[in-house]
Structure 1
Amino acid sequence: LINNNLIFTKEELGESGISISFGKEQIYNFNLLYHLKNSNLFPVKTEIALPPSTNYQDVQIFSIEPNPQNVTRDIDGNWLAQYILAPGKKIDITVNGKAKIWLNPRKEQLSDTELKEYVKEQPYWETNKKEIKDLALKLKTPYAIYQYVVNTLTYDYNRVQENQPRVGAYGVLKNPSSAVCLEFTDLFIAIARAAGIPAREVNGFAFTQNSKERPLSLVKDILHAWPEYYDNELQGWIMIDPTWGNTTGGVDYFYTLDFDHFAFAIKGISSTYPIPAGGYKISDNAIGKDIDVKFGDNFAAQAQSLIISEDFAKGYFPGLNPQGNIFIKNNGQIISLPQEIVITTGFLQPLSQKIYLRAIPPFGFTKIPIKFKKPSFLTNKTETVRIAINDSYIAKKIRITPFILNQWTILGGTIFVSVIIGISFAIYKTGNLSFFRRKR
């Protein structure tokens, strides 16, 4: 860069051409279609993967039709919408939202225990094979591994048309001239993990105007696969694209990616799950287009919206543990931030509890069991349980009543005494117990 002018040499242009990204972010509008079918004779619980917020992107979910039972967040950060399908049931699910893609990733600190999960062997990531181990010992760094994958494999455009099965890292080493994006990704991850570098797979939408230079080969919809590795110094996941590094003739997809990679699903704990949007097809619509992603021009800030509820009983007996559940539902369009729930009471112990609340995806909820210590046997008081998250709170009054003073105990005792009095009166009137005896 000289006087705000970008200068390239003839040699640089001859090797790879120029790829320039302007700005700090890109906005996409998306409409996704998922197809689910239960062919069993019994109900099944299943789930779909929604595009999640990551350290490279923010996602807003405006609608999910039909509404899921819940939306949870797994270890990799995927948003999984859960459904229960009746026997023979078939449903089409539509998801509408927006995404903002960042050029530079945000930090995401992971513990050593968490990172150990991302150096394990998985199907297609054969870290224990001798050939993979030897490459790991030789290459050692993420950049060296990236360069090796880019320069060793050859993209096979015919395999995309033939829809051939995934062969994995070890398989593509045997036939490096026939690779698609999955094999470029698998080989990088396998060598990186064997070298002790945490790595995982990303599946998603990739914007391309040239299917030869930037091919898409994951499924029939416009989907792509690329790896990311964890950088301890930068404290975050770093996405790279060895496939496009190969097919563009040397454009750098290691040090700087672009705005063209929109993640739908992340595979780290498993090499085969979850399935990204576009992969939920059944025989009725196997060739249909389920992915609609377009450029957007507005990404309005959204405030988180959490709804608190509980299921505590109205009354409890002393000598037993008062307990119930708190439900926190994300009623907004963005993932909620991790935060604390504060529970306070007047006399029930503990008087104050702080519970860490993990992030909840849009349309999701979490259930938290709460338990107090046993009050003394003669306790006869009304307690107010207050549950607060930031500036929002609810209060629930519960009554602690000794067994002998409980309204149902009193009512039952009254009925019992009345029955005894009635029987006694009947006996007195007849003068004997003959009406209890069976006639012979």
Structure 2
Amino acid sequence: DEEKVKYLAPDKYWETDSAVIKEKAKDLKTPKQIYNFVTSYLVYNENKLNSASIERLGALSAFNSPKEAVCMEFSDLFIALSRSAGIPAREVVGYAYTQNTRLRPLSFAAQGDLLHAWPEYWDDTFGWVQVDPTWASTSGGLDYFNKLDFNHITLVQRGLSSTNPVPAGAFKKIGDSQKKDVEVAFAQELPQITATPEIELQASDNIISGIPTKVKATVKNIGSTSVIGESLMLTANRLKITSENPINLPLLPPFSNKQFTYDLESKSSLKKFQDTLILSFGDTETAKNIEIIPFYYLVMSPKFLVVSSGVVLVVASGLVLYSKLHKKRVKIFRDFL
């Protein structure tokens, strides 16, 4: 809630504290009502596109002069009315692809680059929702409230300030103010869509029976599209898996990876036996053979005997040395007396 309050404040071009804005906002309770009002009340002024520079009027001036609007005024008025009505809102500036500049015009001037501005409002269910009242008005009523198209490409979002950050194209050297810097090109061929998961199982070759152990599982998506609604599952014949299994992965984005740890247990046994761990994710599987050995195998192993002998030798040497030093100290003490 504290975060959302930041997007209700007035600013230079969002005069939510204006009496006329407040009064109008009382009649408009929902984002849809505000959107409908802005699209029908403001009139897009195509003549302003012929100007060397387009002055931004702000919400209040747009409200008072509805026939002087371009995309900035449509956005500013929507944001100001929304904020005044208690609905968090902010501005988006970006590139909008259009094949018909009369029906879907661009009018945000960034020193030589012609971009587009549109607002977005906060919805407690869907988060930030982008709408375009400008194109809804100029296109004669196309629905840009319920289904904004993919022709809108965000460059910056303005919420805490109505002027910052500035978009791409606004950073220019002196003398290059009319130079076009923002170039957007579209792929001629779409890449082949692939969802290619890879899985890896990291586990010791030997497990001591009766002692809990852990194994690590990694799942990677090396494809170009997300893997949706799959589960990572570990199976074994004799080992008991005590951690969560299967593990549901609602979404694994392209070129991402996730790592998980499984807890395993085995019953105490006096015999050595083998088991096979099988890790599966969708149609992908990998397996690893595990040998479960009794604890006494560890005690009788050559390495353990060598280490144990070394420890015994060190301890014995220490005791002998301590005994000699102790006797020497006792003799010195007696001679002193």
TM-score, scaled relative to structure 1: 0.48
Q: What displacement does 1:349 show?
A: 2.4
The 2-side partners of 1:186 and 1:355 are apart by: 46
Partner letter of residue 173 of structure 1? A
Flag the 1:245–1:358 CA change in 2: closer, same or farther, 3 A. Answer: same
Instruction: Report the equivalent of 2:261.
Output: 370
CA RMSD of aligned residues (A): 5.7
Q: What displacement does 1:214 show?
A: 0.7
Query: 1 or 2, which has the higher helix percentage?
Result: 2
Contact 2:233 2:247 in 1 (8 A): yes
Q: Confirm or deny that 1:355 pairs with 2:253.
A: no
SS at match of 1:145: helix
Q: Confirm or deny that 1:261 pairs with 2:147.
A: no
Q: Confirm or deny that 1:173 pairs with 2:62.
A: no
Partner letter of residue 411 of structure 1? K
Instruction: Report the equivalent of 2:200.
Output: 309
Contact 1:124 1:271 in 2 (8 A): no
- Structure 2 alignment gaps of length 5 or more: 318-322, 329-337
Flag the 1:420–1:239 CA change in 2: closer, same or farther, 3 A. Answer: closer
Counting matched residue pairs gives 300
The 1-side partners of 2:295 and 2:109 are apart by: 65
Partner letter of residue 143 of structure 2? F
SS at match of 1:224: strand
Q: Confirm or deny that 1:251 pairs with 2:251.
A: no
Contact 2:90 2:120 in 1 (8 A): yes
Contact 1:339 1:356 in 2 (8 A): yes
Flag the 1:231–1:407 CA change in 2: closer, same or farther, 3 A. Answer: same
Q: What displacement does 1:258 show?
A: 8.2
The 1-side partners of 2:251 and 2:289 are apart by: 28
Q: Confirm or deny that 1:329 pairs with 2:212.
A: no
Q: What displacement does 1:353 show?
A: 1.4
- Select 1:146's aligned residue among 35, 45, 48: 35
Cα deviation 1:261-319 (Å, max 9, x = unaligned): 24457979x879xxx9x8599899997746432374x5476232112224444445556
Instruction: Report the equivalent of 1:208.
Output: 98
- Structure 1 alignment gaps of length 5 or more: 1-115, 165-170, 426-431
Instruction: Report the equivalent of 1:387.
Output: 279
More displaced 10-residue stretch of structure 1: 185-194 or 408-417: 185-194
SS at match of 1:144: helix
Contact 1:215 1:244 in 2 (8 A): no
Work out which structure has the larger RCO, using CA pairs closer than 8 Å and 6 or more positions apart in sequence.
1
TM-score, scaled relative to structure 2: 0.59
Q: What displacement does 1:423 show?
A: 9.8
Contact 1:216 1:224 in 2 (8 A): yes
- Select 1:226's aligned residue among 100, 104, 118: 118
The 2-side partners of 1:154 and 1:311 are apart by: 63
SS at match of 1:293: coil
Flag the 1:322–1:182 CA change in 2: closer, same or farther, 3 A. Answer: farther
Flag the 1:240–1:393 CA change in 2: closer, same or farther, 3 A. Answer: same
Partner letter of residue 303 of structure 2? L
Q: What displacement does 1:147 show?
A: 2.8
1:262-281 alignment runs, 5 A limit: 262-264=152-154, 279=168
1:16-415 alignment runs, 5 A limit: 120-123=4-7, 135=24, 137-150=26-39, 151-152=41-42, 161=53, 172-176=58-62, 181=71, 184-185=74-75, 187-188=77-78, 191=81, 204-208=94-98, 214-217=105-108, 223-227=115-119, 240-246=131-137, 248=138, 251-254=140-143, 261-264=151-154, 279=168, 289=181, 291-294=183-186, 296=188, 299=190, 302-317=193-208, 321-346=212-237, 347-350=239-242, 353-363=245-255, 365-372=256-263, 374-376=265-267, 381-401=273-293, 405-406=297-298, 411-415=303-307
The 1-side partners of 2:23 and 2:300 are apart by: 75
Cα deviation 1:101-148 (Å, max 9, x = unaligned): xxxxxxxxxxxxxxx99x944447769x67777655412344431132
Contact 2:227 2:253 in 1 (8 A): yes
Larger Rg: 2
SS at match of 1:413: helix
SS at match of 1:294: coil
